[in-house]
Amino acid sequence: MAHFTKATSIKDWLNQRLAIEKVEKVMASEYWIPKNINFLWAMGMVLVITFALLLVSGIFLLMYYQPNIDLAFDSVNYTIMREVDFGWLWRHVHGVAASVVFLIIYIHMFTAIYYGSYKKGREMIWISGMLLFVAFSAEAFSGYMLPWGQMSYWAGMVITNLFSGGSLHADGLVEWIRGDYVPAQAFLNRFFMLHVLLVPLAIIGLIGLHFGALRIPHVNNQDGEEIDFDEESKKYLAGDKAGSKVIRFANDFMSKDMLVVAIYLVFFFYLVFFHYDFAMDPVNFDPADGLKTPEHIYPEWYFLWSYEILRPFSTDIGLIAFAFAQVIFMALPFLDRSPNTIPASRRGLFKYWFWAMLIDMIALTAMGKVPPVEPFGTIGLYAALIFIGLWVVLPFITKLEKKA
Ligand code: HEM
């Protein structure tokens, strides 16, 4: 048993039992952040705030939502939207946040790719980030099933069909996942459970892992400079705040983060009040009907690029290309063979690789939205081939890079 003395304050009482001063130092007042970073480094905090908005609005929606195929559609479109006071507001906050979170995730990912923040000791940050991306994708997909509209039903049908594995004909697997021959009550129950319990729990655990992975290597900076955090923090603590290359996470850096978060929230609530419809597909305002297939079935905008990698090929090749697209970003730290952690603009061929990948993914997204008629089918096919080609050449072009 440790030695306890009579506490002089509540803080002292807690400190003796929970070492709160030490925790505060490790997580905030002596968690050192480089000065040389820009607003893009606030995207992590913007993601934390957006996730909090999703959790809170989700809890309010859960009070009235009915996970029953006969009641779900009305519980959302009638009870929540019309009968419950401010139900519409919670639904719009939830819908807009679910869409915007992907925009911010993509900005956060491409910032990390541009500055090489996945390299040399930061691999676990990247891997935990990619696991978060997968978990958010599962969360968005399972949530999309819940209103039990036409798109919920048919997107559920198409995506679960992927598990039949093309000519492997693993149809039993598809039925096992659905709990029925077609999406029905068992399907809705299990996606409801995933959406409100299992996946959010996984996300919370993964955010913990992501933050833990950041603590030892610290965040990168705009020049990829290897900062001696011990040396620089000593300078700061000795009073040379101007000469030191680092500042405290709290309250110094947090105050900058909060400015970006405040600007973001103005944009966010502008969307919630005036343009919430961009996050909702009109087809999903028709109740699910297993006898009426919608003319075009397409996923939400954030899945379109990977959907377009599946679509232009025959079933088997399409499935392999799709699976490749889902996992390949995870391998980025190991496929980039360059010794340099510097911005893409100062790297050899990687500079072109970065922009080619970004533009290609935007092209895939645009092609995923239009029906597969010419010339869009051909453009989509080339964009998918370029995506795969870019990953194949990555190890070779980065190996050629000289040490900067
Ligand atoms: C929604 C989930 C996520 C949350 C809450 C989150 C949060 C954060 C936070 C707070 C930081 C530190 C500050 C910053 O650089 O922004 C960070 C850094 C980082 N995140 Fe995420 N992140 C998420 C998803 C992702 C994803 C999907 C990736 C990509 C695979 C990723 C990769 C990284 C990397 C590489 C860093 C280090 C940046 C650096 O060292 O400069 N994160 N994240």
Rounded average pLDDT over 156-167: 89
- Yes or no: say if 358 and 110 are a contact pair by the CB < 8 Å rule: yes
Residue identifier of the C-alpha nearest atom 8 of ligand 1: 44
pLDDT of 156 strictly over 80: yes
Give 102 Cα–ligand 1 centroid separation in angstroms. Answer: 13
pLDDT of 250 strictly over 80: yes
pLDDT in tens, 186-234: 999 999 999 999 999 999 999 999 999 999 999 999 999 999 999 999 9
Q: Which residues contact 295 (CB under 8 A, 6 or more apart)?
A: none
Indicate the residue type of 263: I
25-46 b/e with 16+ CB inside 10 Å = b?
eeeeeebbbbbebeebbbbbbb
The reported pLDDT for the residue numbered 59 is 98
Give 96 Cα–ligand 1 centroid separation in angstroms. Answer: 21
The reported pLDDT for the residue numbered 315 is 81
Q: What residues form DSSP beta bridges with 34?
A: 246
Which of 46, 130, 210 is the best mutation target for the ligand 1 pocket, counting ligand atoms within 8 Å of the beta carbon and taking the most? Answer: 210
The reported pLDDT for the residue numbered 280 is 86
pLDDT of 2 strictly over 90: no
Contacts 24+ apart (CB under 8 A), 56-59: 57/90, 57/91, 57/93, 57/94, 57/97, 58/94, 58/196, 58/200
pLDDT of 404 strictly over 80: no
Cα separation values, 317 from 177, 297, 322, 385, Å: 23, 20, 8, 12
pLDDT in tens, 33-44: 999 999 999 999
pLDDT-derived band of residue 279, with 50, 70 and 90 as boundaries?
confident
The verdict on the CB of residue 340 being under 6 Å from ligand 1 is: no
pLDDT of 361 strictly over 90: yes
Which atom of ligand 1 sits closest to the CA of residue 130? 30
